[in-house]
Chains A and B, each alone.
Chain A
Amino acid sequence: MFQKVFKARWSLVMALSAALFLATPAMADDFADAVQGLNAEGYAEKGQAIEALAAVGDDRSVAVLGALMEGNLFVRAADGRVLIARESGSVYLMTDPVTGEAMDEAAEDAIEKIRINNKLRGQLKGVLGAMTLMSSDAAKRLSAADEVFKAGDPAILPILERALAREDIADVKTRLIRARAAIVLEHGTDAPARIEAAKVLSEFTDPDVVALLGKLAFMDGQGQPVEQDAAVFNAVKDAHQSVEAKLAQWAMLGNVFQGVSLGSVLLLAAVGLAITFGVMGVINMAHGEMVMLGAYTTFMVQEVFRTHFPGAFDWSLAVAVPAAFLVTGAVGMVIERGVIRHLYGRPLETLLATWGVSLILQQVVRTIFGPTNQEVGNPSWMSGAIETSTGLVLTYNRIWIIVFSLMVLGMLALVARKTLFGLQMRAVTQNRAMASSMGIRSGWVDALTFALGSGIAGMAGVALSQIDNVSPNLGQAYIIDSFMVVVFGGVGNLWGTLVGAFSLGILNKFLEPYAGAVLGKILVLVGIILFIQKRPRGLFALKGRAVES
């Protein structure tokens, strides 16, 4: 069995090299037969068919295997022919994989997709990787080097050596060296070369390398080392330890990033509340629903973009932010004028009334949009991550949310400090009677302040729609956290909210690995309660007469 596979692999290598250097267009029939072979019954048979197709060594197999990988390879029901087909509206446009010529359209039920599973997907990646190692596109070579590293197939080694010899881009070269070292270490027979390979690998700070070294660095079930050669075993063990130690430091940094990211989400959710509750003293239980409305506004804006300007979808969030601010600000103003202004000075009644408002808003949204999640897309600049080779993954959506939360806070601070409205707002909250007698329409200022707080909550909703469900329950998840941040940071103080949000976020993330998500949350809550006992006004307490009233 093993020999057979080995042989097949060797023939693959030979054929590949033949294809790459001679690019002979011969063996057309072999190729057509091999493509047809992909229409196999079981997954194991399909796996053999993939290997057989790769072994034919034809340039066209890259396109066919790529189509299989993407789910674009079909079988025509009428005659059982294997075709490449792409969905176009309600029909499929078919291409002949052998000639590359376009064929007729087909209805959905006239063709059947050739299904693959994870195992085949992994195999395909390795095979395609080997085929694209010599590609003229550096990005393709880079991902090919990674796939070859993951596949760890010793048969690739000769091609890898050749690719390495002619590679001149440093980044790709490093990845190729990594792939070669991995294969030599795992499959090689020459002890000094393997020790050398382990040394090479120890230079990489990479979770995949740890995984590979881990395979050989442990004892098996009987307490015997997996690796027979003692010198190699020691070298692998040293390499494993050194890489793991380096990774641990990076993991620490990752933890801080995650904490800051959670903090930025808390900050966004809380900053609107810092105005309505912190500055105005209104216990606004409908705050979470403002966030939810902001998220739904994003959904609406994206729907408009999807139907009218699909090309400009990446800009949808730039429109959604002001739109959400205006929509939720307007709703906030209606709530203030309609309900809350009649209840100033009666916190319990405000609490109950706004709780009722929150339930009404939830059910209204549920009636209009339905109870199911709505799909809010990530623009391309918010998808994916910066993947450093150190296992530290910084996702773009989190990075942007951190930036956005700081921008929102900064703008709010500017409004409060530098504008006339900000001045009036501070005047009214500090001493209403005096402000009124100075000619400030305190009722209007109240309404605008509440609208500002609600509008900011709506902007938070735009950001949260990128990482959370857009469903009618979105707001409920954040209301308690928001109150926690505002109370912890100090009521009536924007800096307190900032510091409070980030310290709670980081604390949470450092507790989570040890205590688990559930217990971690409880510990944080208990911690805050104890803290409030000691300092009832939070981290940054406002001082002065206004506070006493």
Chain B
Amino acid sequence: MKTTFKTVVGAGVIAASVLGATAAQAAETIKVGVLHSLSGTMAISETTLKDTVLMMIDEQNKKGGLLGKKLEAVVVDPASNWPLFAEKTRELISKENVNVIFGCWTSVSRKSVLPVVEELNGMLFYPVQYEGEESSRNVFYTGAAPNQQAIPAVDYLLSKDGGEAKRIVLLGTDYVYPRTTNKILRSYLNAKGIADADIMENYTPFGHSDWQTIVSDVKKFASTGKKTAVVSTINGDANVPFYKELANQGIKAEDIPVVAFSVGEEELAGLDTGPLVGHLAAWNYFMSVKAPENDAFIKTWKAFIKDNKRVTNDPMEATYIGFKMWVQAVEQAGTTDVDAVRQAMYGQKVPNLTGGMAVMNTNHHLSKPVLIGEIQDNGQFDIVWNTDGEVVGDAWSDFLPESAKLTADWTYPWVCGNCEKPKYAAK
């Protein structure tokens, strides 16, 4: 018994010294947390973002690091397991003492991380388009809000160039992002004069693979003579069988165009896009955009990943912009302290890869351009429409009555993510 006790104490001492050693080392580097699933369902999308952050860190270190220190990535694997995202966040902030985390893909993982970063005052950069209706003091949203993706896309479908659609099918995976987005879209469509009878809404489970019935339902819905278009918030793995079924059942983009919010270059990589030419996607970035920044980014990426066939996509650009902004803010603040960097973040500007400037607003969302592209037979998108300038990301949708009156602004006098009036306004 005694010996056991001694061993335990001994082990404890060793463990403590090991921990001490890592802490001493940490003083010489700046730690950057990377919280993306490397296994499980979401690994397909998130691994790319982990590699993007590693590439950005690599680039920054080649330039001499940050504040005279080297950057060090702390990569953890939350394994597509939503509660594990919260645990890993706690581990990153409390144990690894990281001051910034790049991570999450699905909204449910972000929602699970949210209470932890708020409790421990961390800083999360979230790089994926999402449903909005959120603004946390501790999160910077570098992906698109609904008014930067969904609303312009529907506008395009209703426009002359987009085919003047009169009936809309809303297809989605059954979870928070599609349901909220479609709620916003439905009220927007109603405001545009499209009645509920002309809107079909359908939800399918994650990883749904048998699309026969739904695709033929869409065909039937389209056979009333009114121009019909599909808005797809189908997420992840389910897209490949969905598009295969569309192609096989001969739904051509000229007859029923499908505009998707979660299908980018990476998702098309596993598909023969020949029969899908003309179907659409709305993003803030496409790999096919010809711009010097984009060419350089693609070149760096292909060299870093050592694969000439790999593609780039929108969440990668969002990660790129977020990382650059954080670096600029740290340089400006002269420290990585979360509270100081947060103040320095507001108004930070980083050139978009597609041209123009991305600006971080006080509601923690970016101003970005919106692009709509048509799928080509080489798996890339041709841009058919884009906004004139940058669109300011809107945390609370103007098309839902209960959130239209909310404001997110983290500077004085508001200092609030969901308030109807400023917190500190003079009386």
- A469 to chain B: which residues have CB within 8 Å? 209, 237, 240-241, 270
**Could you tell me if A373 and B44 are in contact, using CB atoms closer than 8 angstroms?**
yes
Q: Are the C-beta atoms of A258 and B47 separated by less than 8 Å? A: no
Q: Which of A379-435 contact B (CB under 8 A)?
A: 383-385, 387, 391, 393, 395-398
CA–CA, A509 and B216, complex, Å: 12
Which residues of chain B are near A262, meaning CB under 8 Å? Answer: 210, 212
B161 within 8 Å of A (CB atoms):
yes
470-486 of chain A: CB within 8 A of chain B: 470-473, 476-477
C-alpha gap A370/B47 in the complex (Å): 9
Q: Which of B223, B240, B271, B374 contacts A117 (CB 8 A)?
A: B374
Contact of A468 with B161 at beta-carbon distance under 8 Å, contacts A371-B43, A375-B272 already known:
no
Interface centre among B43, B207, B210, B222 (most CB of A within 10 A): B210
Q: Are A118 and B240 in contact, CB atoms less than 8 angstroms apart?
A: no
Nearest opposing residue in chain B for A382, CB measure: B248
Which residue from chain B places its CB closest to the CB of A472 in the assembled complex? B43
Residues of A within 8 A of B210 (CB): 258, 262, 265, 508
Residue B204 at the chain A interface, CB threshold 8 Å: yes
Question: Nearest-CB distance from A185 to chain B (Å)?
Answer: 12
Contact between B382 and A115, CB atoms less than 8 A apart: yes
Interface code B35-49, partner A: CB below 8 Å = 1, 0 otherwise?
000111101100110
**CB of B236, distance to nearest CB on chain A (Å):** 9
* Cβ–Cβ contact A121 & B382, under 8 A: no
Contact B225 A395 (CB under 8 A): no
- Indicate if the CB atoms of A395 and B208 lie closer than 8 Å: no
Q: Which of A431-479 contact B (CB under 8 A)?
A: 467-473, 476-477
- Indicate if A342 sits at the interface (CB-CB under 8 A): no
Mark out the residues of chain A between 120 and 143 whose CB falls within 8 Å of any chain B CB in the assembled complex. 121-122, 125
Instruction: For the complex, give the distance between the alpha carbons of A366 and B210 in Å.
Output: 24
User: In the complex, how many angstroms separate the beta carbon of B356 from the nearest chain A beta carbon?
Assistant: 20
Q: Is the CB of A471 within 8 A of B212?
A: no
Q: Which of B202, B253, B254 contacts A516 (CB 8 A)?
A: B202
Asked if A118 and B163 sit within 8 Å, CB to CB, the answer is: yes
- State in angstroms the CA–CA spacing of A71 and B44 once bound together: 31
B265 to chain A, nearest CB (A): 11
Q: Is A163 an interface residue (CB 8 A)?
A: no
CB distance from A4 to the nearest CB of B (A): 17
Taking A261-B212, A373-B240, A385-B249 as contacts, is the C-beta distance between A214 and B225 under 8 angstroms?
A: yes
Q: Shortest Cβ distance from B283 into chain A, in angstroms? A: 17
- A88, chain B: closest CB distance, angstroms: 14
Contacts of B245 in A (CB 8 A): 395
User: What is the CB-to-nearest-CB distance from B385 to chain A, in angstroms, rounded to a whole number?
Assistant: 8
Contact B272–A211 (Cβ < 8 Å):
no
Interface membership of A60, Cβ < 8 A: no
A521 / chain B contacts, CB cutoff of 8 Å? 205
User: How close is A546's CB to chain B, nearest CB, in angstroms?
Assistant: 36
Looking at chain B's contact residues, is the secondary structure mostly helix, strand, loop, or mixed? loop
Which residues of chain A have C-beta atoms less than 8 A from B214's C-beta? 512, 517
Chain A minimum-CB-distance residue to B384 = A117
CA distance in complex: A394, B253 (Å): 20
List, in ascending order, chain A residues with CB within 8 A of B203's CB: 516-518
Specify the main secondary structure of chain A where it touches its partner. helix
A215 and B202 within 8 A (CB): no
Q: Which residues of B contact A117 (CB under 8 A)?
A: 161-162, 278, 374, 384
Question: Chain B's nearest CB lies how many Å from the CB of A501?
Answer: 13
In this assembly, does B110 line the interface, its C-beta being within 8 Å of a C-beta of chain A? no
**B278 lies within 8 A of A121 (CB):** yes
B70 at the interface (CB under 8 A from A): no
Distance (whole angstroms) from the CB of A168 to the closest CB of chain B = 27
Q: How large is the interface on A (under 10, 10 to 19, 20 to 34, 35 or more residues)?
A: 35 or more
B377 within 8 A of A: yes
* A374 CA / B270 CA spacing, docked (Å): 5
Q: How far is the CB of B190 from chain A (nearest CB, A)?
A: 14
Q: Is residue A338 contacting chain B, with contact meaning CB distance below 8 A?
A: no
A218 at the interface (CB under 8 A from B): yes
Smallest CB-CB separation from A122: which chain B residue? B254
Contacts of A374 in B (CB 8 A): 270
**Interface residue B6 (Cβ < 8 Å from any Cβ of A):** no
Instruction: Give Cα distance in the complex from A518 to B207, angstroms.
Output: 12
- Name the residue of chain A whose CB is nearest to the CB of B240: A469
- B224 part of interface (Cβ distance < 8 Å): yes
Report A229-245 residues with CB < 8 Å from chain B CB: none
Q: Give the residues in chain B near A508, CB-CB below 8 Å.
A: 210
B219 CB within 8 Å of chain A: yes
- Known contacts A373-B240, A395-B249, A468-B209; A213 and B269 CB within 8 A of each other: no
**A363 on interface, CB distance cutoff 8 Å:** yes
Decide yes or no whether B143 CB sits under 8 A from chain A.
no
- Rounded to whole angstroms, the CA-CA distance of A468 and B211 in the bound complex is 11
What string of 1s and 0s marks CB contacts (under 8 Å) between A497-517 and chain B?
A: 000000000001100110011
Q: Say how far B260's CB is from chain A's closest CB, in angstroms.
A: 14
User: Which A residues touch B249, using CB under 8 A?
Assistant: 385, 393, 395
User: Are B44 and A372 neighbours in the complex by a CB distance under 8 Å?
Assistant: yes
Residues of B within 8 A of A362 (CB): 39
Interface residues of A in 183-211 (CB under 8 A from B): 207-208, 210-211
Query: Is B248's CB under 8 angstroms from A118's CB?
Result: no
Contacts of B224 in A (CB 8 A): 210-211, 214-215, 218
- Please give the distance in Å from B251's CB to the nearest CB on chain A: 10
Contact among A210, A375, A512 with B223 in the assembled complex (CB-CB below 8 Å): A210
A281 adjacent to chain B (CB < 8 Å): no
Q: Tell me how far the C-beta of B244 lies from the nearest C-beta in chain A, rounded to whole angstroms.
A: 6
CB contacts (< 8 Å) of A516 on chain B: these are: 202-203
Interface positions, chain B 218-240, Cβ under 8 Å from A, are: 219-220, 222-226, 237, 240
Q: A266's closest neighbor in chain B, by CB?
A: B210
Decide if B250 is an interface residue (CB 8 Å cutoff).
yes
Residue B3 is within 8 A (CB to CB) of chain A in the complex: no
* Residues of A participating in the B interface, judged by any CB pair closer than 8 Å: 43-44, 71, 113, 115, 117-119, 121-122, 125, 150, 207-208, 210-216, 218, 251, 254-255, 258, 261-262, 265, 362-363, 366, 370-375, 377-378, 383-385, 387, 391, 393, 395-398, 467-473, 476-477, 508-509, 512-513, 516-518, 521
Q: What would be 16 A-B contacts, judged by CB atoms less than 8 Å apart?
A: A117-B278, A214-B226, A218-B225, A254-B216, A262-B212, A363-B39, A377-B272, A385-B248, A395-B248, A397-B244, A398-B212, A469-B237, A470-B270, A473-B44, A512-B213, A517-B202
